[in-house]
Amino acid sequence: TINSNAIVAHTSGSVAMQAVSNHVNHGVFYIPQSFSKSREMNFEELPICVEFNNSIAQEGLEKLGNQLSSKLTYLNSQQRGRLHIAAVYMNNFVNHCYTKADEILNEANIDASLLYPLMNETLAKAQEISPYEAQTGPARRNDVQTIARHLEALKSNDRNMYDAITQSIKNTYGN
C-alpha cells in the first residue's frame, strides 16, 4: 500500500493529470526536453512544468522542482498537451528535416557541416525576432519556379513532405 501522504505524479507531456487521479495526492512533473544518455543536461536551465490536485502534492512537486531548476511553471493538462504538440514540431519534426537534409547532401557527396552555420542562425533568429518573422525561402517568397525545380529534383517519396511544408508556409503567409 502507498503511504497516504505519498505523492504520485507522472512525467508525460501528453497525458492528463487524471491518469493518476486514483491516488489521493497526485500531479504531473513534466520537463519539456529530449534526453539522451550521451548528453548531459543542466537542469537549472530547464523549465519544469507542474500540475497538482491539492496542497500536499503542490508542496512536494514545487520542492522537487525548485531543487532542480529555477524555471518552475504551472500548466494545466490542456496547456501541457499543447506544449507537447509544439515540442513535437520543434524537436521531432525539425530533427526529421535535418535527417532529410543529411540524406540529400549525402546522396550528392556534400559535407553536411556546410549547413551548420545556417542551422545555428535559423535558431538564433527564431529566438531573437520570432519564428514567424524569421521565415525565409521559396515558399515564403512564393517562388513557384524554385519550388518546381526542388520538387523535380527530389525523390518521389520526399515530394509529399516538401509540398506539405511548402503549402503550410504559403498558407501561413497568405501566398
CA angle 61, 67, 71 (to 5 degrees): 80
Quick one: pLDDT at residue 2? 58
Quick one: pLDDT at residue 175? 81
**C-alpha–C-alpha distance, residues 107 and 93, integer Å:** 21
**This prediction's pTM:** 0.89
**C-alpha–C-alpha distance, residues 74 and 72, integer Å:** 7
The mean pLDDT value of the chain amounts to 95
pLDDT < 50 stretches in the chain: none
Counting residues of the chain whose pLDDT is more than 90, the rounded percentage is 94
Residue 109 CB-half CA count within 13 A: 0
User: Which residue has cell 515540442?
Assistant: 87
Residue 144 CA, chain-centre distance (Å), reads: 30
Ramachandran sector of residue 114 (left: φ over 0; alpha: ψ -120 to 50; beta: rest) = alpha
Quick one: pLDDT at residue 4? 72
In order of their start, the domains of the chain are 7-79 (3.40.50.720), 93-173 (1.10.1040.20)
Query: Which run of H or E residues covers position 71?
Result: strand 71-74
Q: For the residues of 95-115, what is the DSSP string, one character each?
A: HHHHHHHHHHHHHTT--GGGG
